[in-house]
Structure formats: C-alpha cells, structure tokens
Amino acid sequence: MKLRIVFILAIFASLLLPAYAQQDYASDALLYSGSSLSGTARFQGLGGAQTALGADLGSLSGNPAGLGMYKKSEWSVSPALGYAGTSAAYIGNTTREGKLAFSVPNVGVVFSSAKEETAPGKWRGGAFGVSFSRQNSFQNRYAFDGINNVSSIADRFAFEANERGASVNTLRNEYDFNSNTTSSPYDGGATALYFQTYLVNPVGTNDVNNNEYFQFEAQDEPEGSSRTSVRQQKTLTTTGSASQWNIAYGGNYDDKLYFGASLGIARLNYQSINKYDESYVNGKVFRGLTLNQDFNIRGTGANFTAGVIYRANDVFRLGASFTTPTVYGLSETYDSSVDVDRIAIPKLDYNGNQEVDNQGRPLFVDIDPTYTVRTAPRSFNYNLTTPFKASGGVAFFLGKGGFISADVEYIPYNTMKLRTDGDASFKTDFEQGNLALGITGIQQQFQSVINFKVGGEFRYNILRLRGGFAYQADPYKPSPANNLDHTRLNFSLGGGVRLPNYYIDLATTYSRYKSANTPYTLPDNSSYASALIRNQFTNVVVTFGTFF
C-alpha cells in the first residue's frame, strides 16, 4: 500500500527521541522567528496595517515614529481570549482538536511632551513610551489517528540502531540500572532506549560485539511484506509565546515629519508535550508502545527598530520602519521516555534462536509486562539570529470619516543564523551542517517573503468600525519535497468608542494555514505517512485606554 507523503513541517524532523544532530533546528528557527497579528485592538482590527498611522501604543513595537503624533499622554491594556482549532487527516481518518488560552497581547504607557499648537517653532515635541507586546503565540494542539498496515515506528528504531552501528555491549553500558535511564553523547541515549525495551534486538546472535539489529515485532515477516496492523495515534500540545518589552521615543518636526526609535527586549518561552501511541493488532511480542517527549526552550534577546512617517497633507501619509534581527540566547531542555506493553519476549540463545526448556517448551524473558525506560534529561544552549524586517506603508484619510491604510513588509527568512559554543565538530555541523541543521538547512529550505496588509476605519461621532486583511507568504522554497502551501491568511473586524478621556476598542481576528507532521520516516517513501493539518486561530481582544 502506497501512503501519501506530505511535506514535513514539524517541531522535530521525526518522533524518534532525537539527539542534537537529529533535531530540525532549521524549522525551529522559523518557528521562533515568526509573528502573528499583535498589538492593540485598534491595530489588530486593521489587519496590522499600521506603518503610516500613529498615536497608538502598538506603534512602540511597529513603527515608533507614530509616538511623535501623540498630543496627550495615554495608557492602555489589551486582554485577549484565543482559540486554536486543528483538523488533522492521517491515513484516511480526520481528527479535530482545540485549545483555549488567555493572554495580554499589549499593555503600555506613553508620556507626551507635545507643544501647544500656539507655541512657536518647527520642533513640536515628542513622546516617550514603554510597552509589553506579544509578538507570536505558540498555543496549539493537534492529534491524528490511523491504522498503518505497512510499518511501525519500531522499524525506524531498528533503522537508527543499524545506522549507528553500536555494539550490544556499548548499548548495555549506556543504560543506568539505578536510575532506569539511558544516555549517550552520540544520540542522547535513544538507541540504548530502544534496545533496553526490546523494541530492537540483535540479528542472529547475542554476541556482545554484534552491531546489527531488527524490529522484534516483525522478526518473522519478510522485508516489505504487509506486517501486523498498527494503530498509530499522536497528540502534540504546545504553549508559550514570543513577547517583547519596548522602550521608545518619537519626535515631531513641523507636524510633517515624524521619526522614532525603539529598543526591544525580547523573551521567548516555548513548551511542547508530544505523545505518540502504537497499538499492535494481533501483536505477537508487544501489545503496544507509548513515546513521551517533553521539550522546553527559554531565552532572551534584543533588537532595535527605527521608523519615519511623512504627513504630506491632511489626506496622504507615508511610513517606513526597519527592525534589526533579534539575537536570542536560548536554553532548551528535553526529556523522553518509552512505555512498552509486552505480551512475551522470546529468550534467545547465543545464535539468536529461541531457547526451550528440557520438555521443548519455548522460554521467555522474565520481566514485567509493562515497562518504562527514560533517556537522561539533557540541556543545550545556542544562539539564534532572526531575520530583519523592513516595512513600508501608506494611509489615505477621508476627512473625519475615517481612513484606509496599507502595508508591505519584507522578511528574508533565509538569513536566519544558528550558533553554539561546544564541541568543535558539533559546532561546525550545527552552524554549517546538513539539511536539518544550521545555515545550510536554512538556506536550502527557506526564502525571502513579501507580506501585505490592508485595513480601514470608518468614523461616526464617537463610534469606530474597522476591518482588515493580512497575507503572510509561504517562507518555504518550492521543491519536489515541498508540495504544501504554508501561506497564512488573516482576517479581522473591530470597532470602538472614543471619548475625550478614555476609549474602548474591540477586535476579532481569524487566521488559517496548513502544516504537516510526519511521525517517523523510513528509506522507502511508500512505507510511512504524513498528517495534513489545517490550523485555524480565532482571537478576541479588548483594549481599555485612558488619556491624561
């Protein structure tokens, strides 16, 4: 049976308890460098098209030149409630999941030093501001479920064991009986984990120097044949966000030219809980297995943004901003385990044949039917440099009736960089290495993108109505392996009430995009499958603000 292969977009290249050199850090770099609609309810209601606008707390992390337009001091807070919904199709089955999360996408204060309108001079003062903004949300959950009649993840385990070629004696020495954990500088203890749980076994002989292995459940089946049916289930839950503190100043020259700069202190916090189950239909050795992976990453970084807005007249404005790459120092921790549910493990002799007692009855290993082994927790520190972002915008004002705003932004995702201090050979592989790692992987997988945003506001007395749309282009290069469009579409609606001393704004945003996940890979592309995941995010944000 040929299974449809979909391009892999996942947090890990596969589900196989990876060592450092097996993790897809290039895709991680993209995940941590991405952004979503953020800021106040006003700017979110406009689809994020704010580069030529101003006088909003969202300007601190967007175009700080907008601070120069403030005539009064202001503070605001923007709580939000978001729902992430997913639909995953895997081997003919569709599974739906969802996750609700509360957040505060923006809070801040601006202190204006604008001159009175009657004051002389072309220098019209400015404003200083401090804000906290959420740049991206990692809240999500998806699950998929299907019957695989061709392969098991244990086939991948056997492939990894044979690729490594470690001897039986080496794998035994990588297991600590006291802590019931495995560890290895080569693969983090993954191969020893498979060996210790009997998911892989030596071929033909128990010689301690043997370095060939097979998948125990399929030992009597010829390669490529239809093996025991396997029910495969996976659930991945992610939490966290990329957020930023901004300290900014914006000035006003002659009520025509506005300029500003902002220092951003970025914070990254990401967690994932990955659970993968296999149940063997009519299994001979195992009833099933469960893999658990807990992954956490935290870090801080810094960037700088500068921008200008030119107010040609009361109708037309031009804006531009540039944000430097964010340089992160990141620290990740990783923990994994395998739970196996055994029926019976054959006891093999030195030549790999099942032993029998003096009456000819087969002998089995005397161990608990359920058994758990963990890899020793590991940690790893590295640096990530995100791409820069250049934005340009125009705005047309329709008197007191409202305005239309449009933005274009350029982001070169192929310029992301990874660095680490450590073993020289790993350092070279990590920074310059293969497709799953470093600069080579980034340059081969990703491309520069041009994103578009457009929004409008209708005004009637104290009432405001808003709408917007944002198009985020696919950052992946077209290739034979990439047959999935990762374009992200964002829609928004909003409104509000503006009074002399305070205001309330409301916005609802909806975004959608496709991704994929492959639980494991094998040399034969027809032997494994990928899940196609449709992601939809709905967010409701309210901004409460006062002038002083």
How many domains are there within the chain?
1
Mean pLDDT, 10 residues at a time, over the chain (548 residues)?
37 36 77 94 97 96 97 97 97 96 96 92 96 96 95 91 88 88 84 86 69 64 56 97 98 98 98 95 82 96 98 97 98 92 68 67 64 88 96 96 98 94 63 58 91 98 98 91 89 97 98 95 91 97 98
In this structure, what are the phi and psi dihedrals at residue 431, rounded to the nearest 5 degrees? -85, -30
Structural contact between residues 436 and 469, judged by C-beta atoms closer than 8 angstroms: no
Give the structural domain span for 282. 20-149+230-344+378-547
Domain presence at residue 300 = yes
Residues 427-441 as b/e (b if ≥16 CB within 10 A, e otherwise) read bebbbebeebbbbbb
Structural contact between residues 55 and 414, judged by C-beta atoms closer than 8 angstroms: no
**Exposed, middle or buried, 366 (CB in 10 Å: 0-12/13-18/19+)?**
exposed
Residues 6+ apart with CB under 8 A from 458: 401, 402, 464, 465, 466
Return the pLDDT at 216: 60
Q: Checking phi first, is residue 76 left (phi over 0); if not, alpha (psi -120 to 50) or beta?
A: beta
As given in the structure block, the two tokens for residue 56 are 């909003």
Domain presence at residue 54 = yes
In this structure, what are the phi and psi dihedrals at residue 475, rounded to the nearest 5 degrees? -80, -10
Domain presence at residue 187 = no
Element of type H or E holding 354: none
Token pair 């700088």: residue: 304
Q: Give the span between the Cα atoms of 387 and 323, in whole angstroms.
A: 9
Domain presence at residue 332 = yes
* CA terminus-to-terminus distance, the chain: 69
Residue 456: alpha-carbon gap to chain centroid: 30
Domain presence at residue 437 = yes
Q: Give the span between the Cα atoms of 545 and 547, in whole angstroms.
A: 7
Residue 142: alpha-carbon gap to chain centroid: 13
Q: Give the span between the Cα atoms of 82 and 80, in whole angstroms.
A: 7
Q: Give the span between the Cα atoms of 105 and 95, in whole angstroms.
A: 30
**Exposed, middle or buried, 329 (CB in 10 Å: 0-12/13-18/19+)?**
middle
∠ at Cα 234 (288, 526), nearest 5°? 85
Q: Give the span between the Cα atoms of 212 and 165, in whole angstroms.
A: 7
Structural contact between residues 446 and 484, judged by C-beta atoms closer than 8 angstroms: no
Domain presence at residue 134 = yes
Q: Which of 483, 484, 481, 520 is nearest to 148 (CA)?
A: 520
> Reduced to 3 states, what is the DSSP secondary structure of residue 161?
helix
Domain presence at residue 372 = no
Element of type H or E holding 190: helix 190-196
CATH of the domain at 45: 2.40.160.60
Domain presence at residue 258 = yes
Q: Give the span between the Cα atoms of 465 and 495, in whole angstroms.
A: 4
Token pair 């292969």: residue: 5
Q: How far is CA 161 from CA 29, 33, 123, in A?
A: 28, 34, 71
Q: Give the span between the Cα atoms of 516 and 30, in whole angstroms.
A: 15
∠ at Cα 278 (277, 282), nearest 5°? 150
Structural contact between residues 478 and 24, judged by C-beta atoms closer than 8 angstroms: no
